Amino acid sequence: MRIPGGFQMDAMTILSLSVAKLAGLYRSRSLSPVEVVNASLARIEALNDRYNAFVLVDGPGAIRQAEAAEALFASDGEPPPLAGIPVSVKDNIFTAGMRSTSGSLLFRDHVPDEDSGVVAAARQAGAIVVGKTNTPAFGWAGFTDNMIFGPTRNPWNPELTPGGSSGGAAVSVATGMVPLAIGTDGGGSLRTPAAFTGTVGFKPSHGRLPDTPLHPHWLLQHYGPIARNVGDVAYFLDAAAGPHPDDPHSLPAYDGSFVDDCRQDLVPRAVFTTQLGWVDTVDPEVAEACRSVVSELSASGWQVEEKDDLGWTDPAPFATVLSIVGFSHRLRDYRHRKDEIEPGILAMLENADRLPPNAFYDAYLARNAWCSQPLRLFQSTELLITPTLAAPPFAIGTTAPEAIGGKPVPPSAWNPYLRAFNLTGQPAISVPIGFTRAGLPIGLHIVGGRHRDGQVLAAAAQVQKLRPAKAWSADA
């Protein structure tokens, strides 16, 4: 593609452009949505066999949507903000007329009649759904592997997991297959793979993006985007966020612009810690990288207080109950098909069977009481900063690292920072800040006060100015 001024734009250049840049080139008629979608499909064809990010690709449908977008830009009308932008959608999110397996053999042939609320909002904003990305069955795990499609691989080291459960989504963005991915986060599922793949994963405030149809994990699950930069995350939210009549928890339309928020130079009050109260240990390289960025933020004017230990109680006992009761409800009609259910999920179902009748409400009330611990912190600070994860990516075929920094740890020790903020519904983001000596990405986790999504995005944008993300290359 040759743009005005004689510059030749090849496919790799196209795929490296930000969403805002693509939209601007479309509007100036310097670049065609068909060219971008073709470049995206070619990239998927070249890389997906190796990394297994996509489990379904709708090439003909994507081309038809791109041609329709191109016609919009050629007309006198005003195209919607995501017109012509290719996106991937996690396979546990319903897409009308497009197979949505949730990563499970139980739903291998499931084709929904309607889009989920977040997909409908993205399509209304003009997004082109290129295909569906891999997930552990029903998003149950912090890695991405299942009995139907197998493992997704980390592009920085294909022997390692990209994390989960939105692992396919993160890899689709990290490898340049698409500029934007839509995923879910019920306990860190956007932020975990973002940290492991060097991308940006944002869990907006609960209700910021519509959550339909109804499901049993409504209390914990959030929808959100993964992108290569914070600006693209903000661009997506400006286009797709808003209330939905079928989602009683959806928030009113934002009265500002998340993109504009990202241009602000904040001087916030923040707390930095590596210890919420139950963290076992942190990899020294991860802690060092996070502390280095925090030092730079302090030097730029941020008022950052480091605390050795926040002293919060561990929410795992009641959070686990909320999760497994949800799985038990979701699979209540499929329990006789044990050969098609992941062993880890079967174990959760068996644990759910042993719970007393009042377990869910006891856990729900315990959650409400527990939330006062983090929410009280935000009475005196604006942001909380932690590592996204306590360890670098671990091997495919395992569910957790056996040791962190040479110390043997329990299976949950690698991911202690994220689920707390699904319980509170607060906005939280993972932004890449560098690499370990082995060349594996490290993420910084930033949490904001309730409904302060714009402030979180502005803070993450400032971090990314300090530490611009390194793009993955297939030639590396």
Which residues are designated catalytic? 90, 165, 189
Rg of the Cα atoms in the chain:
21
Distance CA 239, CA 233 (A): 10
CB 415 within 8 A of CB 142: yes
Q: At a CB cut-off of 8 Å and minimum separation 6, what does 333 contact?
A: none
């390194």: which residue's tokens? 470
CB 173 within 8 A of CB 198: no
DSSP H stretches of helix in 371-419: 372-377
List of E strands, 298-440: 303-306, 383-387, 403-404, 407-408, 428-435
Sign of CA dihedral 231, 233, 237, 240: positive
For residue 454 the two structure tokens come to 């714009």
- Angle, CA 256 vertex, CA 252 and CA 261 arms, to 5°: 125
CA nearest 418: which of 187, 141, 186, 184? Answer: 187
């795992």: which residue's tokens? 316
CB 35 within 8 A of CB 1: yes
Distance CA 217, CA 42 (A): 36
Distance CA 190, CA 383 (A): 19
CA nearest 393: which of 347, 432, 446? Answer: 432
Distance CA 20, CA 152 (A): 28
Distance CA 469, CA 170 (A): 14
CB 187 within 8 A of CB 143: no
List of E strands, 326-440: 383-387, 403-404, 407-408, 428-435
Which residue type occupies 94? F
